């Protein structure tokens, strides 16, 4: 708890002029910057111009009651942190207002002026703690987002290296192998070995290209997500372990690639998990634009999650990616009927 209230900005709202003066003087003695309002209307007018660190609010005023004033503030602007001052017999009302957001309440009795600084210090301590927590959470989210961006850039670099480096080298070796066939004409055993080497090289080139496309899936155009999901389904089908298809009733366009990139990675992780663990025969990727939100869904018809296990590392990564773009991700598993992963993103018109 702070040792003093020095420099805290406090608005005291009460229609009892004598008590209002006494409360204001008590806080000024503690070093606070104090403003006063003798009515609800006066308080609203003052709050329209400034925001205090804390408001001390009388619940019962003749023109605008404390609860009505709070409702007006909620409708017109962001709520102001407040402590309730109430008379004897209104404890139930005070408790109800606490449920509506009051930080504390204090009774109008003989000990009011002695108790007020303690109550206000406690309330300001709570506000200071909440602000520090919000700042820490914001910084954590910023760092997590930055780490994801670094990871994406590194994946892109590796993908480009695979395509332009290793892929090109393998292609050059395959071309040399093709030329070598002419040198071993008439030597059946050597011809067979050269042909086999060529086949291995072609398969390796194909795998490198698939890996490179998986690491660098998104192009910077409005249709990139839909196109990349089609390619994801095709690459999955090429593995011949299950069927994969995309359902997208209407085109889904994005102005930027950042959100589309996270949605693609969520779908990619969900499909990869299904291929590795689900024992499914089919995976369906659905991308649907609803009036108010976009929904990405990956559903398989496999065995579902094992009993007691439904949240592995892959799901943690998907949930984090969803949180970064402000989306909600849900997972539904039915034993013997598969897993459905749904990511829902609110979109402004």
Question: Looking at residue 2, what is its pLDDT?
Answer: 46
- Of 104-108, 141-145, 214-218, 263-267, the one with minimum mean pLDDT is 214-218
Say which CATH number the domain at 82 has: 3.40.50.2300
Which pLDDT score, from 0 to 100, does residue 210 have? 64
Tell whether the model's pLDDT for residue 283 goes beyond 90.
Answer: yes
Higher per-residue confidence, 158 vs 244 = 244
pLDDT at 215: 61
Report the number of distinct structural domains present in the chain: 2
pLDDT at 332: 92
Domain end call among 109, 142, 159: 109
Helices 224-238 and 257-273: angle between axes, nearest 10 degrees: 20
For residue 279, give the CATH number of its domain: 3.30.565.10
**Average of per-residue pLDDT values in the chain:** 83
Which residue has better confidence, 170 or 256? 170
Average pLDDT over residues 188-217: 77
- Summary count for the chain: helices (H), strands (E): 10, 10
Inside any domain, residue 43: yes
Does the pLDDT of residue 8 top 90, yes or no?
no
Residue 270: per-residue pLDDT: 94
pLDDT class for 218, splitting at 50, 70, 90? low
Higher pLDDT, 307 or 126: 126
Per-residue CA distances from 289 to 35, 112, 219, 257, 320 (Å): 51, 58, 20, 17, 22
In tens, the pLDDT along 57-95 reads 887 777 766 677 777 777 766 678 888 887 766 667 767
Which of 252-256, 283-287, 319-323, 337-341 shows the lowest mean pLDDT across its residues? 252-256
In whole angstroms, give the CA distance from residue 146 to residue 142.
6
* Higher local confidence (pLDDT), 332 or 101: 332
Q: pLDDT-derived band of residue 170, with 50, 70 and 90 as boundaries?
A: confident
pTM score above 0.95: no
pLDDT for residue 161 is more than 80 = no
- pLDDT in the model for residue 87: 73
3-state secondary structure of 349: coil
Residue that terminates a domain, selected from 109, 137, 163: 109
**Statement: residue 285 has pLDDT above 70:** yes
Residues spanned by the domain of 325: 217-349
Residue 53 falls inside a structural domain: yes
Q: Is the pLDDT of residue 172 over 90?
A: no
Q: Which residues contact 122 (CB under 8 A, 6 or more apart)?
A: 1, 103, 104
Residue 321, domain member (yes or no): yes
Instruction: Report how far apart the first and last C-alpha atoms of the chain are (Å, whole number).
Output: 46
Asked if the structure places residue 205 within a domain, the reply is no
Looking at 109, 139, 159, which one is the last position of a domain?
109
The band of 1, judged by pLDDT with boundaries at 50, 70 and 90, is: very low
- Averaged pLDDT, 89-107: 74
Q: What is the pLDDT of residue 331?
A: 93
Asked if residue 246 belongs to a domain, the reply is: yes
Q: Which of 9-13, 206-210, 241-245, 251-255 is predicted least confidently? A: 206-210
Domain membership flag for residue 293:
yes
The answer on 227 and 345 residing in a single domain is yes
- Local confidence band at 344 (pLDDT 50, 70, 90 cut-offs): very high
Q: Alpha-carbon distance 36 to 23, whole Å?
A: 9
Q: Is residue 70 part of a domain?
A: yes
Percent of the chain with pLDDT strictly greater than 70: 87
The highest-confidence range among 18-27, 110-119, 216-225, 301-310, by mean pLDDT, is 18-27
Nearest one of 305, 297, 318, 316 to 279, comparing CA atoms: 305
191 inside domain: no
Pull the structure tokens for residue 215: 């690491």
| SS3 (DSSP) at 271 | helix
């Amino acid at each position: 708890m702070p040792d003093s209230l020095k420099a805290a900005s406090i608005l005291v709202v009460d229609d009892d002029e004598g008590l209002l003066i006494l409360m204001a003087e008590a806080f000024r003695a503690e070093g606070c910057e104090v403003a006063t309002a003798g009515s609800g209307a006066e308080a609203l007018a003052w709050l329209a111009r400034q925001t205090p660190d804390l408001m001390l609010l009388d619940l019962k005023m003749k023109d605008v009651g404390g609860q009505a004033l709070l409702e007006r503030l909620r409708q017109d602007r962001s709520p102001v942190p407040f402590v309730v001052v109430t008379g004897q017999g209104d404890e139930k009302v005070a408790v109800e207002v606490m449920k509506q957001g009051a930080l504390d309440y204090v009774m109008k009795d003989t000990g009011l002026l002695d108790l007020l600084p303690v109550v206000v210090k406690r309330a300001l301590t709570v506000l200071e703690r909440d602000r520090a927590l919000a700042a820490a959470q914001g910084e954590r989210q910023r760092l997590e987002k930055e780490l994801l961006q670094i990871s994406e850039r590194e994946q892109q670099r590796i993908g480009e290296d695979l395509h332009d480096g290793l892929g090109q080298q393998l292609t050059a070796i395959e071309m040399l192998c093709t030329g070598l066939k002419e040198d071993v004409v008439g030597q059946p055993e050597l011809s067979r070995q050269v042909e086999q080497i060529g086949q291995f090289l072609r398969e390796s080139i194909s795998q490198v290209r698939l890996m490179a496309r998986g690491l660098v899936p998104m192009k910077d155009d409005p249709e990139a997500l839909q196109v990349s999901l089609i390619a994801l389904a095709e690459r999955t089908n090429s593995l011949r372990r299950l069927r994969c298809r995309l359902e997208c009733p209407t085109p889904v366009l994005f102005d930027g690639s950042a959100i589309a990139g996270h949605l693609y990675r969520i779908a990619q992780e969900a499909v990869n998990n299904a291929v590795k663990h689900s024992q499914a025969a089919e995976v369906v990727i659905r991308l649907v634009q609803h009036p108010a939100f976009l929904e990405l869904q990956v559903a398989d018809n496999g065995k579902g999650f094992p009993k007691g296990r439904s949240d592995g590392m892959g799901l943690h990564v998907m949930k984090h990616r969803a949180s970064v773009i402000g989306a909600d991700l849900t997972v539904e598993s039915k034993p013997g009927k598969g897993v459905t992963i749904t990511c829902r993103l609110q979109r402004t018109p």
